[in-house]
């Protein structure tokens, strides 16, 4: 299927590794022109090298470091991308997760920092990208969320709470921008083989006093597909949602989890 992304400019954050990189790779395969952001400058450069070698790539991606928890850095990153590459037709917001922890373990400062990362950083990027999309009367906004929005994960108080807030924001925004030809969605990965999942496994093992192998076995027991997701499987759904054929899909949380979430909605 041709997703109609050839030549379109896509800004992708969290793109140095994991799901963010996989999404950038999927968009490169469609011929999109990429601007990438992440905190790890060396990782970003390595990601750009890999993507430039992709058969579908039109040019080496533009890269610039970005800390989504820093409002000034978010504005500066968007301005540099706009100046050096051009305004975004597609915006993919992917961030690392906030620290794991139970309510009693979290300080007010930790809550504020997590809100900057997950909520305010997302809003800031969308504010920067929207004017050009509105002028073009075409745009795609996608936030990489988590199955925790539908089925909270024990020990992830910050992520469970703030990703739900982001979903409320995206669902409301979707209705406001739909008349302008702009969609806004979230994709919710399930347990995916990434460095973030390795960190979560270690944290939960320590909390419960069991091995990391036991934690992963428990996850697998709850996934009908019987395995973890690979980043490219999340990226496939993401690429479709930001493509031309998905123009009538908006305000949605699309869960890609091997059947892990059992709810009907």
Spatial CB neighbours of 250, under 8 Å, sequence gap ≥ 6: 174, 178, 183, 184, 185
- pTM, whole model, 2 decimals? 0.94
Is the pLDDT reported for residue 206 higher than 90?
no
State the burial class of residue 130 (Cβ atoms within 10 Å of its Cβ: 0-12, 13-18, 19+).
Answer: buried
pLDDT, tens digit, 9 for 90 and up, residues 32-54: 999 999 999 999 999 999 999 88
Name the residue ranges covered by the structural domains of the chain. Answer: 9-192+231-256, 194-228
9-192+231-256 placed in CATH 3.20.20.10: no
Average pLDDT over residues 135-163: 95
C-alpha distance across the termini of the chain, in Å: 28
pLDDT tens-digit readout, 82-118: 999 999 999 999 998 888 888 999 999 999 999 999 9
- pLDDT bracket for residue 155 (50, 70, 90): confident
Instruction: Name the strand (E) or helix (H) holding 133.
Output: helix 121-136
Helices 157-177 and 121-136 pack at an angle, to 10 degrees, of 20
Neighbour-count burial of 195, counting CB atoms closer than 10 A to its CB (0-12 exposed, 13-18 middle, 19+ buried): exposed
Task: Give the pLDDT confidence score for residue 201 in this predicted structure.
Answer: 85
SS3 content of the chain, % helix, strand, coil (to 5): 50, 15, 35
């Amino acid at each position: 299927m041709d997703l109609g992304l050839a030549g379109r400019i896509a800004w992708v954050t969290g793109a140095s590794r994991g799901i963010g990189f996989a999404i950038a790779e999927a968009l490169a395969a469609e011929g999109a022109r990429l601007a990438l952001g992440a905190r790890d400058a060396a990782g970003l450069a390595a990601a750009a090298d890999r993507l430039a070698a992709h058969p579908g790539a039109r040019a080496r991606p533009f890269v610039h470091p970005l800390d989504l928890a820093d409002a000034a850095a978010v504005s500066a990153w968007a301005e540099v991308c706009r100046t050096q590459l051009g305004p975004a037709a597609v915006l993919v917001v992917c961030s690392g997760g906030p620290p794991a922890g139970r309510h009693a373990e979290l300080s007010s400062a930790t809550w504020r920092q997590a809100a900057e990362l997950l909520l305010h950083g997302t809003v800031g990027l969308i504010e920067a990208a929207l004017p050009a999309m509105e002028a073009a009367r075409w745009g795609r906004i996608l936030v990489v969320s988590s199955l925790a929005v539908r089925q909270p994960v024990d020990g992830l108080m910050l992520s469970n709470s703030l990703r739900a807030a982001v979903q409320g924001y995206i669902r409301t925004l979707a209705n406001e921008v739909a008349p302008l030809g702009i969609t806004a969605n979230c994709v919710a990965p399930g347990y995916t083989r990434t460095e973030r999942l390795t960190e979560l496994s270690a944290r939960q093992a320590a909390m419960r006093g069991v091995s990391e192998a036991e934690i992963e076995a428990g996850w697998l027991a709850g996934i009908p597909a019987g395995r973890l997701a690979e980043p490219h499987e999340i990226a496939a759904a993401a690429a479709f949602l930001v493509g031309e054929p998905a123009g009538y899909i908006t305000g949605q949380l699309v869960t890609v989890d091997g059947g892990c979430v059992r709810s009907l909605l």
